[in-house]
A and B are shown apart, each in its own frame.
Chain A
Amino acid sequence: DTAVSQTPKYLVTQMGNDKSIKCEQNLGHDTMYWYKQDSKKFLKIMFSYNNKELIINETVPNRFSPKSPDKAHLNLHINSLELGDSAVYFCASSQTGHYQPQHFGDGTRLSIL
């Protein structure tokens, strides 16, 4: 009955590799997001999709490519991984609308060796 679920929970890989993180929500929301949380716990928005369309891209390197096959899924593909990509990545979802709280998954901890 998990509302926002991400896989995998942990991802350990080497520099230069390509990896994907998947996210699914069963809340019936039509807006989904990716956030990055650094080692100091600072959370920053990366992308937002509404009904499969990209609406926010916060100057993230184009090595990061989100894809939304339908409004319940938002996956994140990362090419040519770098050491600085090590972080916890969170997926979130909300209803469309300004006064709508976002609901988060439990994160994917990405470690680059």
Chain B
Amino acid sequence: GESVGLHLPTLSVQEGDNSIINCAYSNSASDYFIWYKQESGKGPQFIIDIRSNMDKRQGQRVTVLLNKTVKHLSLQIAATQPGDSAVYFCAETAGNSGYSTLTFGKGTMLLVSP
């Protein structure tokens, strides 16, 4: 199958649990961060973003936390559902031009059991 040989970090949770997916970034100049969800056979889908002038941002069932001191980003998913099963990527960008180049993290696979 598609996952043979794929060694992504994996988080396994039960339906209804809260999930936390972590991401470390290295560029201290990064000032805009995005979380994407990628389901099998699909492209990355925008979930939530945050600018570096914020520490926390909430969406529907999701919260992103940003700790610039330790260059760490996390995505919290409340009441995780089987439909949340996917690979999650953080992406960062830096720069003062109008053109943003996203640098993606390695991805974390979230598996939700009913």
Q: Which residues of B are in contact with A by a Cβ distance under 8 Å?
A: 5-8, 31-32, 34, 36, 38, 41-46, 49, 51, 87, 89, 93, 95-104, 106-107
Known A-B contacts A39-B6, A105-B43, A107-B43; A98 and B106 likewise in contact (beta carbons under 8 Å):
no
Complex: chain A residue closest to B48, CB-CB: A101
Given A39-B6, A104-B44, do A97 and B98 touch, yes or no (CB 8 Å)? yes
Interchain CB contact under 8 A, B102 and A45: yes
Interface residues of A, CB < 8 Å — how many?
29
- Name 15 A/B residue pairs within 8 A (Cβ), A-sorted: A39-B6, A41-B6, A42-B106, A50-B98, A90-B43, A92-B43, A97-B98, A98-B31, A98-B32, A98-B95, A101-B34, A102-B34, A106-B43, A107-B42, A107-B43
The distance from the CB of A73 to the nearest CB of chain B, in whole angstroms, is 17
Secondary structure of the B contact surface, majority rule: loop
Q: In the complex, are the beta carbons of B99 and A42 less than 8 A apart? A: no
Are B99 and A96 in touch, CB under 8 angstroms?
Answer: yes
CB contacts (< 8 Å) of A50 on chain B: these are: 98-99
On whether A98 and B104 interact (CB within 8 A), knowing A103-B46, A104-B44, the answer reads no
Which residue in chain A gives the minimum CB-CB distance to B47? A101
Closest chain A residue, CB of each to CB of B44: A104
Residues of chain A touching chain B, judged by Cβ–Cβ distance below 8 Å, are: 4, 31, 39-45, 48, 50, 55-56, 58, 90, 92, 94, 96-107
Task: Give chain B nearest CB distance to A56 CB in angstroms.
Answer: 6
Q: B99 contacts which chain A residues (CB < 8 A)?
A: 31, 48, 50, 55-56, 96, 98
- Given A96-B98, A98-B93: A39 in contact with B43 (beta carbons within 8 A): no
Q: Indicate whether A41 sits within 8 Å of B32 (C-beta atoms), given known contacts A90-B43, A96-B98, A107-B43.
A: no
B31 partner residues in chain A, CB cutoff 8 A: 98
Closest to A96 in B: B98
Minimum C-beta distance from B109 to chain A (A): 9
Which chain B residue has the least Cβ–Cβ distance from A105?
Answer: B43
